[in-house]
Amino acid sequence: MRIGILGSGLMGAKLGTIFARAGHEVVFSYTRSQEKLEQLAREAGSKAKAGTPREAAQDADAVLLAVHWSRVRDVLKQAGDLSGKVVVTCSLPMNDANTELVVARSSSGAEELAKMLPKARIVSAFNTVPSEVLFEVYAAKDKAARPSLVYCGDDASAKEMAVGLIRDVGFDPVDAGPLKIARYTEPFALLMGQLAYEGDGGPELAYRFERFPG
Ligand SMILES: NC(=O)c1ccc[n+]([C@@H]2O[C@H](COP(=O)([O-])OP(=O)(O)OC[C@H]3O[C@@H](n4cnc5c(N)ncnc54)[C@H](OP(=O)(O)O)[C@@H]3O)[C@@H](O)[C@H]2O)c1
């Protein structure tokens, strides 16, 4: 798959690197340092390169949106037309201080994104785990019981593509339902952040749901 990374910070850099190592063609974009972007692409291997948001998006089968909420409109403008594209968003609608959600309860960041991109196929995924655990999950993917990862969206084929990527990283995908369920998954991501960054065990934290026979 060709994957454009819109936002190559903590999440985008790691997920893009894993996607490239898993065999996808990846274009990293949108940092404040071209040098950083190029180094990132070099380190991610021969399947990865650096580009502009437009270059990342134009031939992509899917794009990963991984920017702070305050940068969403800017990066989308730079990316150009995303009609028909699968947009996997890990972005959370946080305020500038990253202390609270600015969209919640009656909507979600994912639904607001869908309003900004009515012709794109949005899937919300990867936002319920801290970036620090991603390489660990990838490294453990053939060894341990896989951690869960919730995702949601309204487009079945877009969700199928997201499932492939979720599995490539090493998670067990859990379909949480339509995009509006991001109203639940986004606050859950804040709980994960609380446990990862304020808890005692460190940020390398993932979760696993267990079903018990009734
Ligand atoms: N980090 C996590 O563990 C985590 C977990 C779940 C969800 N999320 C969500 O995922 C999204 C991405 O988070 P992140 O931690 O990867 O963010 P980040 O590290 O700040 O990365 C954001 C990217 O946007 C780039 N950018 C370009 N222009 C910018 C500008 N003018 N101001 C600020 N950034 C600019 C940054 O560039 P530079 O590289 O030059 O900084 C960086 O590459 C956010 O919505 C966040 O809420 C994050």
Q: The pTM is what?
A: 0.98
- The torsion angles phi and psi of 101, rounded to 5 degrees, stand at -75, 135
State how beta strands 148-153 and 121-124 pair: antiparallel
User: Which pair of tokens denotes residue 169?
Assistant: 């990283």
Going from the Cα of 178 to the center of ligand 1, the distance in angstroms, rounded, reads 25
pLDDT at 31: 97
pLDDT at 123: 99
Q: Residues in the chain with pLDDT < 50?
A: none
Ligand 1 nearest atom to the CA of residue 98, by list position: 47
Going from the Cα of 80 to the center of ligand 1, the distance in angstroms, rounded, reads 19
pLDDT at 214: 87
pLDDT digits (tens, 9 = 90+) for 23-37: 999 999 999 999 999
Q: Which residue out of 6, 32, 64, 132 has the highest number of ligand 1 atoms within 8 Å of its CB and is therefore the one to mutate?
A: 32
Ligand 1 nearest atom to the CA of residue 11, by list position: 16
Task: Give the integer Cα–Cα distance in Å for 48 and 25.
Answer: 6
pLDDT at 60: 98
Angle, vertex CA 93, rays to CA 88 and CA 96, nearest 5: 130
pLDDT at 134: 98
State how beta strands 25-29 and 2-6 pair: parallel
pLDDT at 144: 77
- Taking CB atoms and a 6 Å cutoff, what residues make up the pocket around ligand 1? 7-12, 30-33, 36, 66-69, 71, 90-92, 94, 127, 130-131, 189
